[in-house]
Structure 1
Amino acid sequence: MYELFASAFVTLFVVIDPPGCAPIFAGLVADAEPARQRALAIRASIAAFLILLLFALFGERLLAALHIELYAFRIAGGIMLFVIALEMVFERRTQRREQRAEKVRATPDIDDVAIFPVAMPMLAGPGAIASIMLLMARADGMAASLAVLGALAAVMAVTLATLMAAAPLMRVFGSQVESVATRLLGVLLAALAAQFVIDGLKGAFGI
């Protein structure tokens, strides 16, 4: 179970990418009081956790209702995660997040960024949703499922801590360290995505 927990934790951590979200969140809440910043971080993390938990518990039933084979979803999810990995390596994902954040900042009527764009799609985006569904599909038995859900809770706890410390961390480390970390995580995600595709192909062709 420890190996499954570790694998799920690494996968979700890489996909959600708290180090990459931290500077964008810091920019979104730069004008808010520290107490307001902490409240927004808590709301965003809880909302993202609930969204991902919903797909973790009922995602497989959704696939069944749509008559989608699990193997097909693994292949499609792996390809999608691989694309995300490429965007992380070449920093296109960070640029897109920053552009979305700029649009929100430019809209004076929007003062609560906890749900959009932080909780979704920054934290609980398509990649994270696909990842948690794939991990739950691979979990065999109640203990394995709890290990995956425990990894999700742990990643969201780390994400919450990262968002709450976003502003101080940016002052200490700067954008260069965040850029290097994002690229390294992208390489790791590419390998994990390839494994998802391999597992899907093996299952589909009975290898």
Structure 2
Amino acid sequence: MNNLEFFTYSFASLFAIVSPLSAVVTFVSLTNKLTFEEKNIIANKAVTLACIMALFFAISGELILNFFGITIDSLRVAGGILLFTVAFDMMLAKVSRESITDNEIDKSQDRTDIWIFPIALPLLTGPGTITTVIVLMSGSATIIQSGSVLLAIIATFGITLVLYRFSRRVYKLLGYTGMLVFTRLMGLLLAAMAVNFIVTGIWNIYMSFQI
């Protein structure tokens, strides 16, 4: 695929797994007792940290895999299974167990560091996001495509920051039903991406044994 197609694929993949619009519901729940200014400070800190973490794993992910002796195709299969479980929860309009549980949301209400946990990690940059950025970077054929992945990460979290800063207005505009519809659509897209990860990984592993 050409550079524009690769960027579009990378952005769509990241946007589906981060799913910032559906995460607005959780963000509103976590910050409903805060003032408008306090909420925006939380949003700025959380999204910045999540973006930095995603960029870090995009740049150093392959080195980390090599250190532990893990092949990228093994990560594709394992990550694809993980992404499919997340997608299944999204299609049922449930908060993913990979991201955050209802119990964790309740316990986070009175904490001052919610921008770190659970918002930045793992709600925005969880195992699914980390797997996706590493796989995308491994699939880049040129420096331009590698840069496209980094740009897709920045664009995704840029949109996330805007949605979080206007989270209460977005929630009032779309309503809970609108959020559920969007979550199911993103879940379907993510499920298809997960299947692609698994099939590609298994095929590459199979072919490596034929050589």
TM-score, scaled relative to structure 1: 0.94
Give me the whole-angstrom Cα distance separating, in 2, the residues matched to 1:117 and 1:75.
26
In structure 1, what residue type is equivalent to 2:163?
Answer: T
Give me the whole-angstrom Cα distance separating, in 2, the residues matched to 1:13 and 1:97.
21
In structure 1, what residue type is equivalent to 2:55?
Answer: L
Once the two structures are TM-superposed, the CA of residue 98 in structure 1 deviates from its matched residue by 3.8
Give me the whole-angstrom Cα distance separating, in 2, the residues matched to 1:97 and 1:205.
37
Please say if residues 23 and 170 of structure 1, whose CA atoms lie closer than 8 Å, have aligned partners that are also in contact: yes
Gap runs ≥5 in structure 1? none
Equivalenced residue count is 204
In structure 2, what residue type is equivalent to 1:136?
Answer: M
SS class of match (1:181): helix
Aligned: 1:102 with 2:106 = yes
Once the two structures are TM-superposed, the CA of residue 92 in structure 1 deviates from its matched residue by 2.9
SS class of match (1:68): coil
1:74-122 residue CA offsets vs partner (Å, 9 max, x unmatched):
11111111111111111232585443211211xx3x1231111100010
TM-score, scaled relative to structure 2: 0.92
Aligned: 1:8 with 2:7 = no
Please say if residues 18 and 162 of structure 1, whose CA atoms lie closer than 8 Å, have aligned partners that are also in contact: yes
| Corresponding residue number in structure 1 for 2:135 | 134
- Residue identity (%): 30
| Corresponding residue number in structure 1 for 2:191 | 190
List, as ranges, runs of 4+ consecutive aligned residues in structure 1 with deviation greater than 6 Å. none
SS class of match (1:92): coil
Give me the whole-angstrom Cα distance separating, in 1, the residues matched to 2:22 and 2:153.
18
1:36-67 residue CA offsets vs partner (Å, 9 max, x unmatched):
11111011000000111111111111111111
Please say if residues 24 and 97 of structure 1, whose CA atoms lie closer than 8 Å, have aligned partners that are also in contact: no
In structure 1, what residue type is equivalent to 2:199?
Answer: I
| Corresponding residue number in structure 2 for 1:64 | 66
Give me the whole-angstrom Cα distance separating, in 2, the residues matched to 1:59 and 1:204.
19
| Corresponding residue number in structure 1 for 2:85 | 83
In structure 2, what residue type is equivalent to 1:203?
Answer: N
Give me the whole-angstrom Cα distance separating, in 2, the residues matched to 1:40 and 1:171.
20
| Corresponding residue number in structure 2 for 1:26 | 28
Please say if residues 97 and 122 of structure 1, whose CA atoms lie closer than 8 Å, have aligned partners that are also in contact: no
Give me the whole-angstrom Cα distance separating, in 1, the residues matched to 2:205 and 2:144.
26
SS class of match (1:139): coil
Once the two structures are TM-superposed, the CA of residue 140 in structure 1 deviates from its matched residue by 1.4
Once the two structures are TM-superposed, the CA of residue 69 in structure 1 deviates from its matched residue by 1.4
Please say if residues 20 and 94 of structure 1, whose CA atoms lie closer than 8 Å, have aligned partners that are also in contact: no
Please say if residues 24 and 98 of structure 1, whose CA atoms lie closer than 8 Å, have aligned partners that are also in contact: no
Please say if residues 54 and 129 of structure 2, whose CA atoms lie closer than 8 Å, have aligned partners that are also in contact: yes
SS class of match (2:95): helix
Greater shift, 80-89 or 30-39, is seen at: 30-39
SS class of match (2:141): coil
In structure 2, what residue type is equivalent to 1:198?
Answer: V
Give me the whole-angstrom Cα distance separating, in 1, the residues matched to 2:92 and 2:37.
35
CA shift in 2, pair 1:159/1:176, >3 Å: same
1:139-169 residue CA offsets vs partner (Å, 9 max, x unmatched):
1121110001100100000110111111111
